[in-house]
Structure 1
Amino acid sequence: MSKKLFYQDQYIRSFTSKIKRCTEDENGRRFVVLEETAFYPTGGGQPHDTGTLNELKVYDVVEVDGEVRHYLQESIDENLECVGSINWERRFDHMQQHAGQHILSAAFEDVFSLKTTSFHLGTDICTIDLDVSNLTNEVVEEVEKLANTVILENRPIVAKWLTADEASSFPLRKQLSVEDNIRIVIIEEFDYNGCGGTHPSSTGQIGSLKILQVERQKKQVRVHFVCGNRVIQQLGEKQKVIQELTPLLNSPQPQMKEAANRILQHSKDLEKQVEQLKVRILEYEAEHFLDKMECVHSQQIIRSTFNNRPISELQQLARIISGNTNNTVVLFVNETGENLQVVCSKDKESYLDMNQLVKAILPLINGKGGGNAMFAQGGGDKTMSAEQLAEAILHLID
């Protein structure tokens, strides 16, 4: 088994060790096993460390049967003494987030008896899932306040290796997942939890904790949060957005919500007006088509071809015409690139079935579509011109 220096001192940033072996895994990925290492492997919800071995980049670290594998893109000289260097910024960030999660989960459980069912330490944001279907803002605010109080009290964070009997004497927050080599992380008089991750030596080093969002996740609640330097990063990002929005909304920060609501309402009103104007234009266009009416076997026909016309407009136009005429069928064919679209509509007096008409013509263009007796549509390949397809539909009526 590899000797894990990060359990002796989580603040080790560099170390030297001998190489035990260099080989490849079943996927052909090259890795190195050292006699001892400060690289933390992925596990317990905490991502792996990165860094270098003899200045070669370590891009992944995993533990398999007690040995820690360091994955490298390049070959390493097995005969040289190995010098390892940890990406400290990444390691300390993970320490802050992981310890913050312990405090947050303990706060939810201590105050409201809400158990944490899972934890994810993401690149930018962390989450925990709570065994509850709903969470009020008041609960969130109280838990966040308690978590930050514990952080500011700068309580010691201590890790102990215990036997199962020794561990049973502690008020553990959750059931242990192992029966030997038990490691308990302790925040005195607040949280006692089995954990194999790395944490700072005191809660004050977490800095602060901020809950960003709460959302329903199936039958549970997912809490999004950040700790330490990520809080500063989030604050900076949000402050930048606020500064950019201030001149756009012409409003200071306290009035931004009201200003944004006014703009959104104004936009909705304009959209409604635009839709009303579009309908009026289509109604005017519909009157124009009445002058192009044909008569086929006592059936009045209005047909036309279009190029790259939005299909929604043609649907609406056809319905307007049908709604303002008697015994009339509307046949529209629209050409869009390499495709043809068909829209057929009628009023109640016409004896034709639009669905049957469209289904009869679709094989000519390898198309799909359908509808009902009053209105149908479809589309397919451009196997002929729009005019030829319109003529073919007319012949079906003949």
Structure 2
Amino acid sequence: MVSPNAGTDPTNMTRGAYTTQESIRSVAVDNQAEARFHAGPIEHTVLAGIDYRNGVDKTLNGTVAVVPPINAFNPVYGTPFGPVPFTTRNRQQIDQVGEYIQDQIKYDHWVALLGIRHDLAQSRTDSLSFATNVTTIAPKSDTAVTKRGALLYKFDNGVAPYIQYTESFQPTAGTDFFNRPFMPTTGKQGEVGIKYQPNDKSLYTIAAFDLVQQNVVTPDPDSTHGPTARVQTGEVRSRGVEFEAKTEVNRELTVLASYTYLDNVVTKTNTAAQLGKHPVGFPMNSASVWADYTFRGGALDGFGVSGGVRYIGELPGNTANTFYVPDVTLFDAAIHYDFSALGPMFKGYSAQVNATNLFDKTYVTYCQDFGCYYGLRRNVIATLRYRW
């Protein structure tokens, strides 16, 4: 990896080499019960449950600092510099148990939602240094109570303004450069919006939100720690507007569209260069349009084709916001088939092929203080599914 901050002479740019191997295994179980009843004119839908999540993250990391420099104007690749040895091995296990209950309350044109959740998260991080053959163990335990509430009013013409408040608590897997486990990410979000549903086939939503998150994981601004190192920024405030639309033009054709304007700023940090800046990796503007046409009857009954376009606006390329990654427009497509069109015996079977970045466009998706990354090339995934 070439570091753009390693010197001002582009004919003799210093480089470093890093390696990492990571495996993640996770299990999630969610058990819940629902009860519906009336208390006079008020309708209640109560949902209560317990969920459990277990995750194990294993990483091997290595680095070598002595790598031949490169000329940016006349690069010569393939210069040997020897293998990159592993220097540390980490294993982190996180167990999280949550209990929650919520009540959806309906009265006339009013709909309210009230919920509360309690979480207990425990983790253990084992870090082995190959240089000293010493393993450090860092146990951690966190608990939190989070709340949510929303209120909506449905007019007869399909317009429904709403307001909601949500708190979040999310254990964060991984460690920083010094193998210290991350703190859970917490947040508080307020949102106001309007939903419009003129009929059963269309839904339009516009919303404005204000989200404040603590302990957000961001790239480590110290380039000597390697490209995979992360730190936790003190606080990030995100404000923006979202628009979503879904409509069934007819029985065969469905169109979805969305647009997001996002203004997020680092409001508290232990890294002075980040304060008041936009975090790297988040575009201010993004939009997408997706259309799906599924044949209903005839020789192609059950067969469908989809296509769409994604726009990703320019985004900050470093913590100082001195340069930005250019915007990009990408195209995606899919084909799918519902086997139930062949007869009742095939009900529940379906197949689908998705292609992202359909035209294999070369673009930069992400930059940080000491390097940039290309976006994914054309990616094709085939899926065979059975539902019952």
- Normalized against structure 2, the TM-score is what? 0.18
- Normalized against structure 1, the TM-score is what? 0.17
Higher strand proportion (structure 1 or 2): 2
Higher helix proportion (structure 1 or 2): 1
Larger radius of gyration: 1
